Amino acid sequence: MHPEGRGRELLYEISFGRSGGKRASLVEAASYVSTGDFSNITGQILFNKIKEGYDDPTLLYPQLCTVVPTEFLNGERIPGVGGISPSMIEIVGEGKKYPTLGLNENWLDTRATVKHGAELGFTRESIVADRTGLLLKQGSDFGRAAGVVVEKEVIDVATASNSNNSYNRNGVSTNTYLTSGAYINDQTGNALDGSANEWRAIEKADLLFDAMISPDTGEPIGVPQSPGLLVPSALLKTAERIVHATAVQTVDLRAQATTIRTDGANPLGTRRPQILSNQYVKARTSSTSKWYYGDFKRAIYWMQVWAIETLAAASNDEVSFTQDIWSRTRVSYRGVGQMAEPRFLVRNDT
């Protein structure tokens, strides 16, 4: 043994200048924790957890809008053409020339898209100490928080809450819900409650669609065949009773000795709406009585530049060295909610 001690001897053994013999190799201690020990929070598992949170089934936005890919960060003009009106179809006499139809131009102007995102970082200490999977739960919570941002915006578009009136057709901006003017899709005196209204509230909403005219053809826009029913939590059970009733009893309340009761099938028939409800409906509208009905996916677009994506930082980057932050994941997405056609929706209140 060298008089200077074992350290000097070890240095001698691994020295590049030593001639002859075998060089000693250094081996990591078995108890050392490396980045390989927490690959479950740096790779696909973490991404899956983030995506799982973003796609939380309690969130309604996937059922309220249609995703429309776009490359225009600052909004775009979506071109369209006027529809063919029955009035364009004329009687053609024998040997006469058929009339030529022209198409009228129309367009929808969309809003500028917005990028959202954040970064999630785990320190060395939190990774070593984690024994219960809480770090993966944070990934799921991270994704859900991103989904809630989209949820709030899409519900705002659907309900015209927080000044979210984004409809702009042919260069003219119009409020989503109107009681007069270009269309009428907003009505009071139509409570969704446990009174004699019941299914008649749905019928009254259908009658607004029945009277609404397409701006392209001048013909009735038609009653939605697969409608959605967006309600706050306070109306959820009432909506379920109305929609899922298997039979309805009509009572004749005439002041006579005999009261007539008529039993029949649910008048909603096969057009029973899909009930959509969670706590954000009331939170965004500040109302426990307003309810919304119609074809949400035809009415609302999510203009998407890119969907939610994750990017993991390199394990040997600067902050891992200077701050012992061993795992960093960035989440981002870019898009915006857009009202495409408010004539497919009706707002109702007491």
148-176: per-residue pLDDT in tens? 999 999 999 999 999 999 999 999 999 99
DSSP assignment letter at 297:
H
- Bridge partners of 334, per DSSP, are 115, 306
Across 65-74, 82-91, 214-223, the highest mean pLDDT is recorded for 65-74
| Cβ atoms 287, 233 nearer than 8 A | no
pLDDT digit string (tens) for 287-331? Answer: 999 999 999 999 999 999 999 988 877 666 776 667 676 677 889
Q: How confident is the model at residue 239 (pLDDT cuts 50, 70, 90)?
A: very high
Share the mean pLDDT of the chain.
83
Q: What pLDDT is attached to residue 215? A: 86
SS (H, E, C) 48-63: HHHHHHHCCCCCCHHH
Is the pLDDT score of 183 beyond 70?
Answer: yes
Across 134-138, 191-195, 197-201, 279-283, the highest mean pLDDT is recorded for 279-283
Long-range contacts of 265-269 (CB under 8 A, 24+ apart): 266/199, 267/199, 267/203, 268/199, 268/202, 268/242, 268/243
DSSP secondary structure string, 169-227? ETTEEE-SS-SSSS---EESS---STTTTTHHHHHHHHHHHHH-B-TTTSSB----SS-
